[in-house]
Chains A and B, each alone.
Chain A
Amino acid sequence: MRAIPSGSQTVGPFFRIGLEHLCGGSDPEPSGAVMVKVRGKVFDGNGAPVPDAVLEIWHADSSGRYDSARPDDRRRSPCFTRAATDEDGEFGFSIRRPGSVPCEMEVRQAPHLSVLVFARGLLRHLMTRMYFPDETANETDTALQLVPEERRSTLIARGSGSEPGSLEWNVVLQGEEETVFFAW
Protein backbone atom coordinates (compact mmCIF):
# COMPACT_ATOMS: atom_id res chain seq x y z
CA MET A 1 0.00 0.00 0.00
CA ARG A 2 1.25 3.43 -0.87
CA ALA A 3 1.88 5.76 2.07
CA ILE A 4 0.13 9.12 1.94
CA PRO A 5 2.58 12.05 1.72
CA SER A 6 2.82 14.20 4.85
CA GLY A 7 0.66 17.33 4.88
CA SER A 8 2.14 20.69 4.03
CA GLN A 9 2.07 23.65 6.42
CA THR A 10 3.02 27.30 5.93
CA VAL A 11 6.62 28.50 6.35
CA GLY A 12 5.14 31.25 8.54
CA PRO A 13 6.65 34.72 8.93
CA PHE A 14 9.92 33.63 10.54
CA PHE A 15 11.32 31.28 7.88
CA ARG A 16 14.54 33.27 7.52
CA ILE A 17 15.81 31.65 10.71
CA GLY A 18 15.89 28.27 9.05
CA LEU A 19 16.04 28.95 5.33
CA GLU A 20 18.26 31.98 4.87
CA HIS A 21 21.50 29.99 4.74
CA LEU A 22 20.70 29.05 1.14
CA CYS A 23 19.54 32.51 0.07
CA GLY A 24 21.55 34.56 -2.38
CA GLY A 25 23.80 33.49 -5.21
CA SER A 26 23.41 29.93 -6.39
CA ASP A 27 26.96 29.31 -7.51
CA PRO A 28 30.32 30.92 -8.05
CA GLU A 29 30.37 32.43 -11.51
CA PRO A 30 32.29 30.10 -13.76
CA SER A 31 34.28 31.91 -16.42
CA GLY A 32 32.40 32.21 -19.65
CA ALA A 33 29.00 31.37 -18.15
CA VAL A 34 26.14 33.66 -19.04
CA MET A 35 24.73 35.04 -15.83
CA VAL A 36 21.18 36.35 -15.57
CA LYS A 37 19.94 38.75 -12.94
CA VAL A 38 16.24 38.64 -12.14
CA ARG A 39 14.43 41.18 -10.00
CA GLY A 40 10.78 41.41 -9.14
CA LYS A 41 8.08 41.75 -6.54
CA VAL A 42 5.53 39.45 -4.97
CA PHE A 43 1.98 40.85 -4.69
CA ASP A 44 -1.14 39.68 -2.89
CA GLY A 45 -4.77 39.86 -4.04
CA ASN A 46 -5.02 43.53 -3.04
CA GLY A 47 -1.93 44.43 -5.03
CA ALA A 48 0.00 44.88 -1.79
CA PRO A 49 3.63 43.74 -1.72
CA VAL A 50 4.31 40.53 0.22
CA PRO A 51 7.29 41.13 2.52
CA ASP A 52 7.48 37.60 3.90
CA ALA A 53 7.77 35.31 0.90
CA VAL A 54 10.71 33.20 -0.22
CA LEU A 55 11.22 31.85 -3.74
CA GLU A 56 13.16 28.73 -4.60
CA ILE A 57 14.64 28.66 -8.06
CA TRP A 58 15.28 25.21 -9.52
CA HIS A 59 16.86 25.09 -12.94
CA ALA A 60 19.01 23.13 -15.36
CA ASP A 61 22.62 24.06 -16.00
CA SER A 62 23.82 25.70 -19.20
CA SER A 63 23.83 22.34 -20.97
CA GLY A 64 20.24 21.57 -19.92
CA ARG A 65 21.11 19.05 -17.23
CA TYR A 66 19.87 19.03 -13.68
CA ASP A 67 22.06 18.66 -10.66
CA SER A 68 23.09 15.06 -11.17
CA ALA A 69 26.81 15.22 -10.40
CA ARG A 70 27.40 14.64 -6.72
CA PRO A 71 30.72 15.93 -5.43
CA ASP A 72 30.27 15.52 -1.71
CA ASP A 73 32.15 18.58 -0.57
CA ARG A 74 30.05 21.02 -2.54
CA ARG A 75 28.23 23.43 -0.32
CA ARG A 76 25.90 24.93 -2.87
CA SER A 77 24.12 23.39 -5.79
CA PRO A 78 24.74 25.16 -9.12
CA CYS A 79 21.08 24.64 -10.04
CA PHE A 80 19.32 25.97 -6.97
CA THR A 81 18.98 29.20 -5.06
CA ARG A 82 16.59 30.95 -2.71
CA ALA A 83 15.52 34.58 -2.67
CA ALA A 84 13.44 36.08 0.12
CA THR A 85 11.42 39.27 -0.34
CA ASP A 86 12.33 42.44 1.55
CA GLU A 87 9.95 44.83 3.31
CA ASP A 88 8.84 46.18 -0.10
CA GLY A 89 8.07 42.70 -1.41
CA GLU A 90 11.15 42.79 -3.67
CA PHE A 91 13.37 39.86 -4.47
CA GLY A 92 16.43 39.46 -6.64
CA PHE A 93 18.68 36.61 -7.66
CA SER A 94 21.46 35.89 -10.07
CA ILE A 95 21.88 32.53 -11.79
CA ARG A 96 23.68 30.88 -14.63
CA ARG A 97 21.38 30.95 -17.64
CA PRO A 98 19.95 27.44 -18.12
CA GLY A 99 20.02 25.57 -21.41
CA SER A 100 17.13 23.71 -23.00
CA VAL A 101 16.15 20.57 -21.14
CA PRO A 102 16.21 17.60 -23.53
CA CYS A 103 12.81 16.44 -24.72
CA GLU A 104 11.23 13.36 -23.29
CA MET A 105 8.09 11.70 -24.61
CA GLU A 106 7.63 14.43 -27.20
CA VAL A 107 7.29 17.21 -24.66
CA ARG A 108 9.30 20.31 -25.49
CA GLN A 109 10.93 22.57 -23.00
CA ALA A 110 12.30 26.03 -23.64
CA PRO A 111 14.96 27.24 -21.17
CA HIS A 112 13.13 28.14 -17.97
CA LEU A 113 13.34 28.31 -14.20
CA SER A 114 11.02 26.27 -12.01
CA VAL A 115 10.02 28.50 -9.13
CA LEU A 116 8.47 27.44 -5.83
CA VAL A 117 6.78 30.17 -3.80
CA PHE A 118 6.58 29.95 -0.02
CA ALA A 119 5.08 32.62 2.24
CA ARG A 120 3.19 33.30 5.39
CA GLY A 121 -0.40 32.65 4.37
CA LEU A 122 0.54 29.93 1.88
CA LEU A 123 -0.39 26.63 3.52
CA ARG A 124 1.11 24.76 0.59
CA HIS A 125 3.82 26.17 -1.65
CA LEU A 126 2.98 27.26 -5.17
CA MET A 127 4.80 26.06 -8.26
CA THR A 128 5.34 28.25 -11.30
CA ARG A 129 7.86 28.80 -14.09
CA MET A 130 9.82 31.76 -15.43
CA TYR A 131 10.73 31.87 -19.12
CA PHE A 132 13.11 34.18 -20.97
CA PRO A 133 11.73 36.91 -23.24
CA ASP A 134 14.03 36.38 -26.22
CA GLU A 135 13.54 32.65 -26.78
CA THR A 136 11.89 31.39 -29.95
CA ALA A 137 11.64 27.98 -28.22
CA ASN A 138 8.92 29.48 -26.02
CA GLU A 139 6.54 29.11 -28.95
CA THR A 140 6.73 25.32 -28.87
CA ASP A 141 7.20 24.85 -25.11
CA THR A 142 4.69 22.26 -23.89
CA ALA A 143 3.97 23.88 -20.52
CA LEU A 144 3.33 27.28 -22.13
CA GLN A 145 1.03 25.65 -24.68
CA LEU A 146 -1.06 24.27 -21.83
CA VAL A 147 -1.57 27.76 -20.41
CA PRO A 148 -4.43 29.84 -21.84
CA GLU A 149 -2.83 32.29 -24.26
CA GLU A 150 -4.00 35.39 -22.41
CA ARG A 151 -2.22 34.26 -19.25
CA ARG A 152 1.09 33.12 -20.78
CA SER A 153 2.73 36.50 -20.36
CA THR A 154 2.67 36.05 -16.57
CA LEU A 155 5.35 33.38 -17.00
CA ILE A 156 7.69 35.35 -19.27
CA ALA A 157 10.17 37.80 -17.77
CA ARG A 158 10.64 41.26 -19.30
CA GLY A 159 13.93 42.85 -20.20
CA SER A 160 14.82 45.47 -17.65
CA GLY A 161 15.26 48.90 -19.19
CA SER A 162 17.61 50.07 -16.49
CA GLU A 163 20.23 47.36 -16.68
CA PRO A 164 21.25 45.46 -19.81
CA GLY A 165 21.10 41.69 -19.40
CA SER A 166 18.84 41.80 -16.38
CA LEU A 167 15.21 40.75 -16.24
CA GLU A 168 12.07 41.71 -14.36
CA TRP A 169 9.46 39.20 -13.33
CA ASN A 170 6.71 39.59 -10.74
CA VAL A 171 4.73 36.97 -8.89
CA VAL A 172 1.07 37.88 -8.36
CA LEU A 173 -0.54 35.46 -5.93
CA GLN A 174 -4.11 36.50 -6.73
CA GLY A 175 -6.10 38.95 -8.84
CA GLU A 176 -6.31 40.25 -12.37
CA GLU A 177 -2.69 39.66 -13.31
CA GLU A 178 -2.51 36.43 -11.31
CA THR A 179 0.58 34.40 -12.14
CA VAL A 180 -0.06 30.97 -13.60
CA PHE A 181 0.57 28.25 -11.03
CA PHE A 182 0.84 24.54 -11.68
CA ALA A 183 -0.80 21.71 -9.73
CA TRP A 184 1.44 19.39 -7.73
Chain B
Amino acid sequence: MTEFAEWPTIELPPPGSQPEYCHPPYVSSVLRSPRQPLILLPKALLQCEGPVFGHSIVTASDSDLTGQHADKPVGEPIIVHGRVLDEDGRPVRGALVEVWQANAAGRYRHRADQSGMPLDPNFSGAGRVLTDASGRYEFRTIKPGPYPWKNHYNAWRPAHIHFSLFGAGILSRLVTQMYFPGDPLQPLDPIFNSIADKDARNRLISQFDINRSEPDRALAYAFDIVLRGSHETPTERAER
Protein backbone atom coordinates (compact mmCIF):
# COMPACT_ATOMS: atom_id res chain seq x y z
CA MET B 1 0.00 0.00 0.00
CA THR B 2 1.15 3.51 -0.73
CA GLU B 3 0.40 5.66 2.26
CA PHE B 4 0.18 9.39 2.57
CA ALA B 5 0.84 10.59 6.06
CA GLU B 6 -0.93 13.94 5.90
CA TRP B 7 -4.56 12.78 5.94
CA PRO B 8 -6.34 9.99 7.78
CA THR B 9 -6.84 7.01 5.50
CA ILE B 10 -9.62 4.45 5.54
CA GLU B 11 -9.48 1.42 7.78
CA LEU B 12 -9.09 -1.73 5.72
CA PRO B 13 -11.03 -4.92 6.57
CA PRO B 14 -9.31 -7.37 8.96
CA PRO B 15 -6.79 -9.71 7.25
CA GLY B 16 -8.37 -12.90 5.93
CA SER B 17 -11.92 -11.56 6.05
CA GLN B 18 -11.89 -10.67 2.35
CA PRO B 19 -10.45 -12.68 -0.55
CA GLU B 20 -7.11 -11.82 -2.12
CA TYR B 21 -7.47 -10.66 -5.71
CA CYS B 22 -5.10 -13.37 -6.92
CA HIS B 23 -6.23 -16.74 -5.60
CA PRO B 24 -4.60 -19.33 -7.92
CA PRO B 25 -6.98 -22.22 -7.09
CA TYR B 26 -9.63 -20.03 -8.77
CA VAL B 27 -7.93 -20.06 -12.17
CA SER B 28 -9.76 -17.04 -13.64
CA SER B 29 -8.38 -14.81 -10.89
CA VAL B 30 -4.77 -15.25 -12.01
CA LEU B 31 -4.83 -13.03 -15.12
CA ARG B 32 -7.52 -10.71 -13.88
CA SER B 33 -5.92 -9.52 -10.63
CA PRO B 34 -3.71 -6.44 -10.41
CA ARG B 35 0.00 -6.92 -9.72
CA GLN B 36 0.77 -3.33 -8.72
CA PRO B 37 0.10 -2.28 -5.13
CA LEU B 38 -3.32 -0.76 -4.52
CA ILE B 39 -3.15 2.88 -3.50
CA LEU B 40 -4.62 3.90 -0.17
CA LEU B 41 -6.64 7.11 -0.39
CA PRO B 42 -7.42 9.63 2.32
CA LYS B 43 -10.79 9.01 3.93
CA ALA B 44 -12.05 12.36 2.70
CA LEU B 45 -11.77 11.14 -0.91
CA LEU B 46 -14.03 8.17 -0.29
CA GLN B 47 -17.02 10.00 1.10
CA CYS B 48 -18.76 9.47 -2.23
CA GLU B 49 -22.39 8.92 -1.39
CA GLY B 50 -24.20 6.05 -2.99
CA PRO B 51 -26.94 6.18 -5.53
CA VAL B 52 -30.37 6.41 -3.96
CA PHE B 53 -32.94 3.99 -5.27
CA GLY B 54 -36.60 4.87 -4.94
CA HIS B 55 -39.31 2.36 -4.15
CA SER B 56 -40.41 2.26 -7.77
CA ILE B 57 -37.20 0.43 -8.65
CA VAL B 58 -38.71 -2.72 -7.16
CA THR B 59 -42.16 -4.23 -7.63
CA ALA B 60 -43.79 -6.96 -5.53
CA SER B 61 -43.02 -9.63 -8.13
CA ASP B 62 -39.33 -8.72 -7.99
CA SER B 63 -39.05 -10.35 -4.56
CA ASP B 64 -40.94 -13.50 -5.54
CA LEU B 65 -38.85 -15.43 -8.03
CA THR B 66 -41.41 -18.23 -7.98
CA GLY B 67 -44.19 -15.95 -9.20
CA GLN B 68 -42.74 -14.34 -12.31
CA HIS B 69 -44.24 -16.76 -14.85
CA ALA B 70 -47.50 -18.56 -15.64
CA ASP B 71 -46.58 -21.62 -13.60
CA LYS B 72 -44.45 -22.36 -10.57
CA PRO B 73 -40.81 -23.22 -11.22
CA VAL B 74 -39.51 -26.74 -10.61
CA GLY B 75 -37.60 -27.16 -7.37
CA GLU B 76 -37.70 -26.79 -3.63
CA PRO B 77 -39.53 -23.55 -2.73
CA ILE B 78 -37.63 -21.53 -0.15
CA ILE B 79 -37.82 -18.22 1.67
CA VAL B 80 -34.54 -16.36 2.06
CA HIS B 81 -34.58 -13.58 4.61
CA GLY B 82 -32.24 -11.65 6.83
CA ARG B 83 -30.98 -8.29 7.96
CA VAL B 84 -28.54 -5.90 6.38
CA LEU B 85 -26.44 -4.31 9.11
CA ASP B 86 -23.50 -1.95 9.30
CA GLU B 87 -20.28 -2.48 11.23
CA ASP B 88 -21.93 -0.99 14.34
CA GLY B 89 -24.75 -3.53 14.11
CA ARG B 90 -27.24 -0.88 12.98
CA PRO B 91 -29.83 -1.69 10.33
CA VAL B 92 -29.19 -0.41 6.82
CA ARG B 93 -32.56 0.91 5.68
CA GLY B 94 -33.73 1.17 2.11
CA ALA B 95 -30.72 -0.78 0.86
CA LEU B 96 -31.14 -2.19 -2.64
CA VAL B 97 -30.54 -5.96 -2.61
CA GLU B 98 -30.21 -7.62 -6.02
CA VAL B 99 -30.08 -11.41 -6.33
CA TRP B 100 -29.55 -13.83 -9.19
CA GLN B 101 -29.18 -17.58 -9.31
CA ALA B 102 -29.31 -20.83 -11.25
CA ASN B 103 -32.52 -22.86 -11.43
CA ALA B 104 -33.10 -26.12 -9.54
CA ALA B 105 -31.13 -28.01 -12.18
CA GLY B 106 -28.12 -25.73 -11.83
CA ARG B 107 -28.71 -23.82 -15.08
CA TYR B 108 -28.60 -20.03 -15.47
CA ARG B 109 -30.85 -18.28 -17.94
CA HIS B 110 -27.82 -16.86 -19.74
CA ARG B 111 -26.45 -17.58 -23.20
CA ALA B 112 -22.97 -18.21 -21.78
CA ASP B 113 -24.22 -21.07 -19.60
CA GLN B 114 -23.16 -24.10 -21.64
CA SER B 115 -23.65 -26.63 -18.86
CA GLY B 116 -26.29 -28.54 -20.83
CA MET B 117 -28.57 -28.64 -17.81
CA PRO B 118 -32.23 -27.89 -18.63
CA LEU B 119 -33.77 -24.42 -18.56
CA ASP B 120 -37.01 -23.95 -16.65
CA PRO B 121 -39.57 -21.89 -18.61
CA ASN B 122 -41.03 -20.75 -15.29
CA PHE B 123 -37.85 -19.43 -13.75
CA SER B 124 -35.80 -16.34 -14.66
CA GLY B 125 -33.61 -16.34 -11.56
CA ALA B 126 -33.41 -12.58 -10.85
CA GLY B 127 -34.87 -10.63 -7.96
CA ARG B 128 -34.63 -7.29 -6.17
CA VAL B 129 -35.84 -5.95 -2.88
CA LEU B 130 -35.31 -2.89 -0.67
CA THR B 131 -34.65 -3.40 3.04
CA ASP B 132 -37.31 -2.10 5.44
CA ALA B 133 -36.90 0.21 8.43
CA SER B 134 -35.25 -2.60 10.44
CA GLY B 135 -32.86 -3.46 7.62
CA ARG B 136 -34.82 -6.63 6.83
CA TYR B 137 -35.29 -8.18 3.43
CA GLU B 138 -37.09 -11.30 2.27
CA PHE B 139 -37.59 -13.06 -1.02
CA ARG B 140 -39.11 -16.27 -2.26
CA THR B 141 -37.33 -18.52 -4.69
CA ILE B 142 -36.37 -22.12 -5.30
CA LYS B 143 -33.18 -23.71 -4.02
CA PRO B 144 -30.59 -23.46 -6.81
CA GLY B 145 -28.82 -26.64 -7.90
CA PRO B 146 -25.05 -27.15 -7.85
CA TYR B 147 -23.50 -27.06 -11.30
CA PRO B 148 -20.34 -28.15 -13.09
CA TRP B 149 -17.75 -25.63 -14.21
CA LYS B 150 -14.38 -25.80 -15.95
CA ASN B 151 -12.04 -24.56 -13.22
CA HIS B 152 -10.49 -28.00 -12.62
CA TYR B 153 -11.29 -31.65 -13.16
CA ASN B 154 -14.72 -32.59 -11.79
CA ALA B 155 -15.33 -29.05 -10.53
CA TRP B 156 -18.82 -28.26 -9.20
CA ARG B 157 -19.99 -25.03 -7.64
CA PRO B 158 -21.83 -25.52 -4.35
CA ALA B 159 -25.43 -24.27 -4.46
CA HIS B 160 -25.41 -20.49 -4.05
CA ILE B 161 -27.37 -17.30 -4.64
CA HIS B 162 -25.55 -14.16 -5.84
CA PHE B 163 -26.19 -11.05 -3.73
CA SER B 164 -25.44 -7.43 -4.64
CA LEU B 165 -25.96 -4.70 -2.04
CA PHE B 166 -25.78 -0.92 -1.80
CA GLY B 167 -25.26 0.89 1.49
CA ALA B 168 -24.71 4.55 2.23
CA GLY B 169 -21.54 5.07 0.25
CA ILE B 170 -19.04 3.66 -2.17
CA LEU B 171 -17.17 1.72 0.54
CA SER B 172 -20.36 -0.09 1.53
CA ARG B 173 -20.83 -1.66 -1.89
CA LEU B 174 -20.77 -5.44 -1.68
CA VAL B 175 -21.23 -8.33 -4.09
CA THR B 176 -21.18 -11.75 -2.49
CA GLN B 177 -22.71 -15.21 -2.62
CA MET B 178 -24.97 -16.95 -0.12
CA TYR B 179 -24.40 -20.67 0.44
CA PHE B 180 -26.56 -23.37 2.04
CA PRO B 181 -25.79 -25.31 5.23
CA GLY B 182 -24.45 -28.84 4.90
CA ASP B 183 -23.36 -28.61 1.28
CA PRO B 184 -20.53 -31.16 0.75
CA LEU B 185 -19.14 -29.10 -2.16
CA GLN B 186 -18.14 -26.13 -0.01
CA PRO B 187 -14.78 -27.53 1.20
CA LEU B 188 -13.86 -28.23 -2.44
CA ASP B 189 -14.84 -24.86 -3.88
CA PRO B 190 -12.01 -22.39 -4.63
CA ILE B 191 -14.37 -19.39 -4.69
CA PHE B 192 -15.87 -20.10 -1.27
CA ASN B 193 -12.40 -20.89 0.09
CA SER B 194 -10.88 -17.68 -1.27
CA ILE B 195 -11.83 -16.15 2.08
CA ALA B 196 -8.97 -17.36 4.28
CA ASP B 197 -10.59 -16.80 7.66
CA LYS B 198 -12.84 -19.73 8.52
CA ASP B 199 -15.33 -17.70 10.54
CA ALA B 200 -15.61 -15.06 7.84
CA ARG B 201 -16.10 -17.79 5.24
CA ASN B 202 -18.76 -19.54 7.26
CA ARG B 203 -20.72 -16.32 7.64
CA LEU B 204 -21.57 -16.69 3.93
CA ILE B 205 -23.49 -19.87 4.76
CA SER B 206 -27.17 -19.24 5.47
CA GLN B 207 -28.88 -20.93 8.42
CA PHE B 208 -31.84 -23.21 8.12
CA ASP B 209 -34.77 -21.52 9.85
CA ILE B 210 -37.67 -23.80 10.80
CA ASN B 211 -39.51 -20.99 12.57
CA ARG B 212 -39.81 -18.94 9.46
CA SER B 213 -40.67 -21.95 7.26
CA GLU B 214 -44.28 -22.13 6.10
CA PRO B 215 -46.18 -25.43 6.52
CA ASP B 216 -46.94 -27.08 3.15
CA ARG B 217 -45.29 -24.16 1.31
CA ALA B 218 -41.65 -23.38 1.81
CA LEU B 219 -38.55 -23.94 3.94
CA ALA B 220 -36.70 -20.86 5.13
CA TYR B 221 -33.06 -19.84 5.30
CA ALA B 222 -31.72 -16.85 7.24
CA PHE B 223 -28.80 -14.83 5.91
CA ASP B 224 -27.58 -11.62 7.56
CA ILE B 225 -25.14 -9.35 5.77
CA VAL B 226 -22.75 -6.77 7.23
CA LEU B 227 -21.81 -3.80 5.05
CA ARG B 228 -18.72 -1.65 5.54
CA GLY B 229 -19.10 1.61 7.39
CA SER B 230 -21.64 3.26 9.59
CA HIS B 231 -25.10 3.91 8.23
CA GLU B 232 -26.65 6.31 10.66
CA THR B 233 -28.88 8.91 9.11
CA PRO B 234 -27.99 12.61 9.41
CA THR B 235 -30.76 12.97 12.04
CA GLU B 236 -29.34 10.13 14.11
CA ARG B 237 -25.88 11.62 13.82
CA ALA B 238 -27.18 14.94 15.11
CA GLU B 239 -28.87 13.21 18.04
CA ARG B 240 -25.74 11.56 19.30
Partners in one complex: yes
Interface residues of A (CB under 8 A from B): 2-19, 21, 44-46, 48, 50, 52, 56, 58, 60, 66-75, 77, 79-80, 104-107, 109, 114, 116, 118-127, 142-143, 146-148, 151, 173-175, 178-184
The interface residues of chain A lying within 8 Å CB-to-CB of B124 are 17
Residue in B48, B175, B191, B225 whose CB lies within 8 Å of A58: B48
Number of A-B contacts (CB under 8 A): 237
A66 vs chain B, min Cβ distance (A): 4
The interface residues of chain B lying within 8 Å CB-to-CB of A12 are 162
Given contacts A6-B225, A17-B109, A174-B32, contact A124 B19 (CB under 8 A): yes
State whether A6 touches B174 (Cβ < 8 A): yes
The interface residues of chain B lying within 8 Å CB-to-CB of A104 are 44, 47
The proximity string for B residues 23-48 relative to A, scoring 1 for CB distances below 8 Å and 0 otherwise, is: 10010111111111011111011111
Residue in B18, B28, B53, B98 whose CB lies within 8 Å of A121: B28
State whether B28 touches A120 (Cβ < 8 A): yes
| Interface residues in B, total, Cβ within 8 A | 83
State whether A67 touches B34 (Cβ < 8 A): no
State whether A3 touches B41 (Cβ < 8 A): no
Can you pick out 28 interface pairs between chain A and chain B where the beta carbons lie within 8 Å of each other? A4-B17, A4-B200, A5-B87, A5-B228, A6-B176, A7-B19, A8-B174, A9-B19, A9-B176, A11-B175, A17-B109, A17-B125, A19-B98, A44-B32, A45-B35, A52-B112, A58-B51, A67-B49, A67-B51, A72-B56, A114-B170, A119-B32, A125-B173, A126-B34, A146-B39, A178-B35, A183-B1, A184-B12
Residue in A114, A123, A148, A175 whose CB lies within 8 Å of B19: A123
State whether A8 touches B44 (Cβ < 8 A): no
B178's closest neighbor in chain A, by CB? Answer: A9
CA separation between A107 and B30, bound complex, in Å?
A: 35
Q: Is B201 an interface residue (CB 8 A)?
A: yes
State whether A183 touches B41 (Cβ < 8 A): yes
The proximity string for B residues 187-207 relative to A, scoring 1 for CB distances below 8 Å and 0 otherwise, is: 000011011000011011000
Best-surrounded residue of A14, A45, A66, A181 (most CB of chain B within 10 A): A14
The interface residues of chain B lying within 8 Å CB-to-CB of A77 are 51-53
CA separation between A60 and B32, bound complex, in Å?
A: 29
Interface majority SS (helix, strand, loop, mixed), chain A: loop
Given contacts A6-B176, A73-B54, contact A123 B34 (CB under 8 A): no
Interface majority SS (helix, strand, loop, mixed), chain B: loop
CA separation between A174 and B31, bound complex, in Å?
A: 7
B178 vs chain A, min Cβ distance (A): 9
State whether B226 touches A5 (Cβ < 8 A): yes
Given contacts A58-B50, A79-B51, contact A180 B7 (CB under 8 A): no
Residue in A4, A125, A178 whose CB lies within 8 Å of B13: A4
State whether A173 touches B50 (Cβ < 8 A): no
CA separation between A140 and B177, bound complex, in Å?
A: 40
Best-surrounded residue of A71, A73, A122 (most CB of chain B within 10 A): A122
State whether B51 touches A80 (Cβ < 8 A): yes
The interface residues of chain B lying within 8 Å CB-to-CB of A105 are 7, 42, 44
State whether A7 touches B203 (Cβ < 8 A): yes
B224's closest neighbor in chain A, by CB? Answer: A6
